[in-house]
Amino acid sequence: MAETNEKHTAPWTKKTPTAVLVLADGTVIEGFGLGATGKVVAEVCFNTALTGYQEILTDPSYAGQIVTFTFPHIGNVGANDDDIEDLNPAARAGAVGAIFKADITDPSNYRSAGHLDGWLKKRGIIALSGIDTRALTALIREKGAPNAVIAHAPDGQFDIEALKKEAAAWSGLLGLDLAKDVTSGQSSVWTETPWVWNEGHGERTGEPEMNIVAIDYGVKRNILRLLAGLGAKVTVVPAKTDASTILAMNPDGIFLSNGPGDPAATGEYAVPVIRELVDADLPVFGICLGHQMLALAAGGKTVKMHQGHHGANHPVKDHTTGKVEIVSMNHGFAVDSKSLPEGVEETHVSLFDNSNCGIALNGKPVFSVQHHPEASPGPQDSHYLFRRFANLIRERKGEPALAER
């Protein structure tokens, strides 16, 4: 993103609302438009993170969703090209809408390359500001994540009745496979390593220590960076890649990525592949959607959550260590822990609502977690899980283990 001195006109200077959020129950919330113009129907959720709005809005797991930020000041550190999480920015995988309490202030950060409003326009994200986001968050907590239409028109003209009908008619995320819309179009090798302050991202060089195939259901860049940072050759393959193609790459381990939508819908084609890979007795590590579909492959079930978990301050207990860690989360579906069959161990649990946050298959080098250990944004308490995965591979190769912490 090139440095720019673009001017931003505060929406507060306009008297007529230029954006609306119309919920499926007919509720109309007026505000001031930012970002792209037009309208889109999606599910409304809220995110409690204090930082990382670019990473949040470009996380492919948010496809089909409008993100309400509970933190009031969004955009004050500007926008740049380094804080993007989707693999293909041109595909605009991620949130389709955003809701802010306050107007975007002018950026003040040494890494800023432009104003968030301009970045939203380029990404095609419709945004709304000037509303009581605490009241909207309370509504979601009480009634669940609603379907809605978010619309932005500079002239403030809206056909409210038509928008109400559109919001009410949308079937929602249940039964919807969105991984096919955000996955990579072809296989590729990822070499970028984690960001280091004052140096930026590095590149994996030299002979790789292990060969990992990552199935892309909507993978985040920082996951791939952490895998590459372990010295791994990381080959990213599309969501519908068959097991024989993956096994022909002679992987030392398989990674099942995060992603959007209903795991049961994506699982119709993904679960048979995952079962074949597990039967190949290779180390397997899954995150988020990958975790949910591993549970389905093992015989468990998934359920739609009331409001989902979205934020960077969620406490999770790792039963394997007895430790509690603060993690990033972003999911509207969850594994039903009561449905887990014999041979599947629950390894992690949310301390907010006791929902399942991790499983391991007994007797196999296979495990997964619901939360996002790569953070971006969020705390790095769970980075050890990537080393745990690497150690399963190193054990198979007869190599010494890495320290998990």
Q: Do residue 141 and residue 287 come from a single domain?
A: no
Q: Do residue 108 and residue 245 come from a single domain?
A: no
- pLDDT tens track for 225-272: 999 999 999 999 999 999 999 999 999 999 999 999 999 999 999 999
Q: Do residue 159 and residue 44 come from a single domain?
A: yes
Q: Phi/psi class of residue 248: alpha, beta or left (left: φ > 0; alpha: ψ in -120 to 50)? A: alpha
**281 lies in some domain:** yes
Domain that holds residue 145: 11-169
Q: Is the pLDDT of residue 2 over 50?
A: no
Quote the pLDDT of residue 9. 61
Long-range pairs, 139-146, Cβ under 8 A, ≥24: 139/27, 140/44, 140/45, 140/46, 140/68, 140/307, 141/307, 143/25, 144/306, 144/307, 145/43, 145/44, 145/45, 145/306, 145/307, 145/308, 145/332, 146/23, 146/24, 146/25, 146/43, 146/44
- pLDDT tens track for 294-345: 999 999 999 999 999 999 999 999 999 999 999 999 999 999 999 999 999 9
pLDDT cut 70: percent of the chain above it = 97
- pLDDT tens track for 111-160: 999 999 999 999 999 999 999 999 999 999 999 999 999 999 999 999 99
Quote the pLDDT of residue 92. 78
- For the entire predicted model, the pTM comes to 0.95
Q: Do residue 320 and residue 285 come from a single domain?
A: yes
Q: Do residue 58 and residue 117 come from a single domain?
A: yes
Residues identified as active-site: 288, 372, 374
Q: Give the CATH number for residue 249.
A: 3.40.50.880
